[in-house]
């Protein structure tokens, strides 16, 4: 049982979105830049995409979970820690260590990855709006955990080489935790988290097996 | 006149409570009988805290979920009205915990905006590990509530209770807190709580008890009475499940014999009519529900035979 009601959860999201405005614009710009770099890769695009993903996870861990959600949910500091760990993993593996390139290929993993990113940026917030959680209560890409996780899984499907499993553990875990909102918070849009997690796990496992 | 009759009747019938409790509970009845003040016209039902004899209203207010509304001014202002209604009806104990998110901060917000909170009996908990962390948390709670000292500090769900017990005993000796207690809300740690009750100098104990979850009748309630502890009852509506189960059924006509007008009063009067219970703490976010709950603070209480009838009735539905 959650320690707050859906009414309180979405009221907090409304306050959060209004308080951080226009961070959503910056997050969308970063997301679109990452998407563009995946379709038109450059020598440094892997590191830039890694930096974008890490910064979005860092924002979600600190600003959303730690500073906002923790005021109504005693479990949120744990969620903040998970998101910070993922931010560090992304920064270390993709930015500092480097060597992971992302590019769109017209195969199953590529199409699924692109579809998940479109889902995260466009469809997820629209789905939420149809369910009654439109702006300013909407969970927007980059500043809310759900769409950020879906986008990350989509981008990892575009990795040219094997996807490091260490990078998908926390996103997959969140796809399970976040999907509980479908039942606990009457947020049907979060069913996409579960589907994205399952799809990404299957395709990444198949891709890694094929590349090994 | 009928209230007076009910008063006498309840006192005498309390000696035959073995139908609803063990022999220990009957002993508790004798101990607590003088502390029970049944309703006189326009009077409130109160119970004495055994440690001091101080009387508190038998219906208090919990804050799990219902007061955890974050920073939303709209929702906070709505809760001000709920708490205002609570005090308007003669309520006293407000119970919270650092575990309940923003509830303590919201209570502080409400208290700042309420004029008639003189009868507030402030009760919160410490819910963390390590003594130093507990001290820090309790000081934070004082600031959030805007209280210089709490009436009651409890150790939440027995978490690291050995460490916090030292602090609570010290604070009580320094008159920094008036009463100290221990809680569980799981219904699974009754054995642990029982051991603590037997070994520690508590004033209050808090656990779950309602018309369907009556495990506490066997050991905890009699033990608390025997040790002279005040008893706070949480989850009186089983987190709302009792309404889901029974609200489609009409209230039995005989509920009027002990002044119940709705199911919430039926459930609450079942609890507070147990002689070892000091106070039940239902939580609500709605003024109309608060009005219903606080109706249990007046009128007659069911006697032992009627309590059995209440159990049989709900179990037959």
Q: Where are the domains of chain B?
A: 2-316
The Cα of B37 is separated from the nearest Cα of chain A by a number of Å equal to: 35
Report chain B's terminal Cα–Cα distance, integer Å. 34
If you average pLDDT over every residue of chain A, what do you get? 95
B133-144 CB burial, b ≥16 within 10 A, e <16: ebbebbeebbeb
- Quick check: A71 and B70 CB within 8 A? yes
- pLDDT exceeding 90 applies to what percent of chain B? 82
> Ramachandran region of residue B283, left (φ > 0), alpha (ψ -120 to 50) or beta?
beta
Residue B187 confidence (pLDDT): 67
- Quick check: A15 and B71 CB within 8 A? yes
B259-301 pLDDT, tens per residue?
999 999 999 999 999 999 999 999 999 999 999 999 999 999 9
Of A120, A166, A167, A170, which Cα lies nearest the Cα of A147? Answer: A120
pLDDT confidence band for B6 (50 / 70 / 90): very low
The Cα of A142 is separated from the nearest Cα of chain B by a number of Å equal to: 22
Architecture of domain B2-316: Alpha-Beta Barrel (3.20)
- Which residue of chain B has the CA closest to A8? B69
If you average pLDDT over every residue of chain B, what do you get? 87
**What is the mean predicted confidence (pLDDT) over A32-41?**
96
- pLDDT exceeding 70 applies to what percent of chain B? 86
Q: Where are the domains of chain A?
A: 6-211
- Bridge-based pairing state of the strands B177-183 and B204-208: parallel
B90-147 pLDDT, tens per residue?
999 999 999 999 999 999 999 999 988 889 999 999 999 999 999 999 999 999 999 9
Alpha-carbon distance of B159 to B194, in angstroms, equals 15
Choose the mutation target among A10, A73, A74, A76 for the interface with B, i.e. most B CBs under 10 Å.
Answer: A74
- Quick check: B68 and A4 CB within 8 A? yes
- Quick check: A12 and B71 CB within 8 A? yes
Q: How many CA atoms lie within 13 A of B227 on its CB side?
A: 22
B196-241 pLDDT, tens per residue?
999 999 999 999 999 999 999 999 999 999 999 999 999 999 999 9
- Quick check: A72 and B70 CB within 8 A? yes
Residue B42 confidence (pLDDT): 54
Distant-in-sequence, close-in-space partners of B123: CB < 8 Å, separation ≥ 6:
B60, B93, B94, B95, B96, B150, B151, B152, B153, B154, B181, B204, B232
Alpha-carbon distance of A148 to B260, in angstroms, equals 52
- Quick check: A71 and B71 CB within 8 A? yes
- ipTM, 2 dp: 0.87
Structure token pair of residue A198 = 């399952």
- Which residue of chain B has the CA closest to A73? B101
**What is the mean predicted confidence (pLDDT) over B17-35?**
36
């Amino acid at each position: 049982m959650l320690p707050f009601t859906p009414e309180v959860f979405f009221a907090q999201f409304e306050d959060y979105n209004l308080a951080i405005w226009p961070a959503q614009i910056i997050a969308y710009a970063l997301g679109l830049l990452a998407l563009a770099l995946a379709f038109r890769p450059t020598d440094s695009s892997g590191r830039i995409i890694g930096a974008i993903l890490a910064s979005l996870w860092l924002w979600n861990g600190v600003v959303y979970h730690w500073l906002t959600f923790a005021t109504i949910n005693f479990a949120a500091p744990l969620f903040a820690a998970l998101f910070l760990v993922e931010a560090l993993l992304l920064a270390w593996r993709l930015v500092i260590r480097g060597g992971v390139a992302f590019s769109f290929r017209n195969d199953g993993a590529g199409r699924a990855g692109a579809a998940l990113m479109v889902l995260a940026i466009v469809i997820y917030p629209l789905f939420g709006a149809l369910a009654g959680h439109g702006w300013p209560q909407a969970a927007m890409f980059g500043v809310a955990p759900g769409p950020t996780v879906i986008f990350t899984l989509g981008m990892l499907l575009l990795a040219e080489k094997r996807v490091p499993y260490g990078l998908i553990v926390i996103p997959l875990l969140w796809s399970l935790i976040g999907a509980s909102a479908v039942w606990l918070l009457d947020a049907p849009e979060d069913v996409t988290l579960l589907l994205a997690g399952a799809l990404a796990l299957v395709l990444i496992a198949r891709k890694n097996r094929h590349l090994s | 006149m009928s209230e007076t009759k009910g008063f006498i009747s309840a006192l005498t019938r309390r000696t035959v409570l073995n139908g609803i409790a063990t022999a220990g509970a009957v002993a508790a009845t004798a101990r607590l009988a003088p502390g029970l003040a049944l309703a006189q016209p326009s009077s409130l039902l109160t119970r004495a805290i055994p440690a001091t004899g101080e009387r508190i209203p038998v219906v208090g207010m919990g804050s799990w979920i219902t007061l955890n509304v974050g920073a939303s001014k709209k929702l906070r202002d709505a809760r001000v009205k709920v708490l205002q209604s609570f005090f308007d009806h003669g309520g006293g104990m407000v119970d919270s915990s650092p575990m309940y998110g923003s509830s303590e901060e919201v209570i502080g917000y409400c208290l700042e905006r309420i004029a008639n909170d003189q009868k507030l009996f402030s009760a919160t908990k410490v819910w963390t590990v390590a003594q130093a962390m507990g001290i820090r948390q309790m000081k934070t709670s004082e600031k959030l509530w805007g209280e210089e000292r709490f009436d009651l500090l409890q150790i939440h769900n027995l978490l690291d209770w050995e460490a916090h017990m030292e602090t609570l005993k010290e604070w009580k000796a320094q008159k920094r807190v008036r009463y100290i207690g221990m809680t569980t809300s799981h219904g699974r740690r009754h054995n642990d709580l029982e051991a603590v009750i037997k070994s520690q100098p508590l004033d209050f104990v808090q656990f779950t008890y309602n018309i369907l979850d009556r495990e506490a009748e066997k050991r905890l309630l009699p033990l608390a009475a025997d040790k002279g502890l005040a008893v706070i009852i949480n989850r009186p509506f089983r987190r709302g499940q009792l309404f889901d189960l029974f609200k489609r059924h009409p209230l039995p006509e005989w509920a009027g014999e002990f002044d119940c007008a709705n199911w919430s009063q039926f459930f609450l009067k079942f609890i507070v009519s147990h002689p070892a219970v000091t106070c039940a703490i239902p939580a609500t976010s709605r003024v109309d529900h608060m009005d219903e709950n606080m109706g249990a603070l007046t009128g007659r209480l069911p006697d032992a035979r009627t309590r059995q009838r209440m159990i049989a009735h709900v179990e037959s539905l």
